[in-house]
Structure 1
Amino acid sequence: MLTPSDSKLSKQQQILSAVSEEELLKQQRIQEVLLLIDSLFQREEATFRIIIDCLYDVGSLNLINKKFHSRYLNFIMKAIARFSKPIFRIYALYWVKKNSPKLITNWLASKVKF
């Protein structure tokens, strides 16, 4: 026979199971978003290469102009930046593919939390 304390315990278990089901659903949906973003990065690799190239060009020029005021040093550093671009592109693309889907997913998840 159910006593009032058993009934109360049963209601608490139902509430906990409902909450855990909701949490499980949230985690599954976040995982789906992660897979979709990862798929996007795989399909649009050429686009991300172009984006990385543009950001490298702008960032390297800004950094060199800010740090090296001498014309001669400025010219040399810009030449070095041009030669190092392919190496940077390889590492940057690897980093973007590895980390960006998770970072974007976490950022999007933080935007829908209240």
Structure 2
Amino acid sequence: MLTPSDSKLSKQQRILSAVSEEELLKQQRIQEVLLLIDSLFQREETTFRIIIDCLYDVGSLNLINKKFHSRYLNFIMKAIARFSKPIFRIYALYWVKKNSPKLITNWLASKVKF
């Protein structure tokens, strides 16, 4: 025989199970977004290489022009930056492929939270 406290308890359990189902659904959807973004990074690796190259060129020139005002030193630093670009590209691409999908997913998830 059900007592009023039993019906209250079952109602609370239903609410909790509904909330946990919603939370599980949210986590599954966020995981799907992560997989999709990771897949995007795998397919579009060439595009990200070009983006990294462009950002390196602009960033290194801006940094060198800001820090080194002497023409001679400025020229030497730009030459060093050109030679170090392939090494930077390897590490940057590794970092982007490893960290960006998770960072983008977390950022997108934060945008849909209220």
TM-score (ref. length: structure 2): 0.99
Q: Distance in 1 between matches of 2:5 and 2:74?
A: 79
Offset, 1:18: 0.1
Offset, 1:101: 0.3
Q: Indicate the SS of the match to 1:2.
A: coil
Q: Distance in 1 between matches of 2:76 and 2:42?
A: 36
Q: Indicate the SS of the match to 2:69.
A: coil
Offset, 1:34: 0.3
Question: Which runs of structure 2 are paired with 1:1-114 in the superposition (5 Å)?
Answer: 1-114=1-114
C-alpha distance after superposition, 1:31-55 (max 9, x if no partner): 0000000000000000000000000
Offset, 1:25: 0.2
C-alpha distance after superposition, 1:59-110 (max 9, x if no partner): 0000000000011110010000000000000000000000000000000011
C-alpha distance after superposition, 1:17-40 (max 9, x if no partner): 000000000000000000000000
Gaps of 5+ in 2: none
Q: Distance in 2 between matches of 1:37 and 1:7?
A: 45
Q: Distance in 2 between matches of 1:92 and 1:59?
A: 13
Q: Distance in 1 between matches of 2:3 and 2:77?
A: 81
Q: Distance in 2 between matches of 1:8 and 1:30?
A: 33
- Aligned pairs, how many? 114
Q: Distance in 2 between matches of 1:77 and 1:3?
A: 81
- Following TM superposition, where does structure 1 have runs of at least 4 consecutive aligned residues deviating by more than 6 angstroms? none
Q: Distance in 2 between matches of 1:83 and 1:38?
A: 30
Gaps of 5+ in 1: none
Q: Distance in 2 between matches of 1:30 and 1:71?
A: 51
Q: Distance in 2 between matches of 1:8 and 1:61?
A: 68
Q: Distance in 2 between matches of 1:3 and 1:59?
A: 71
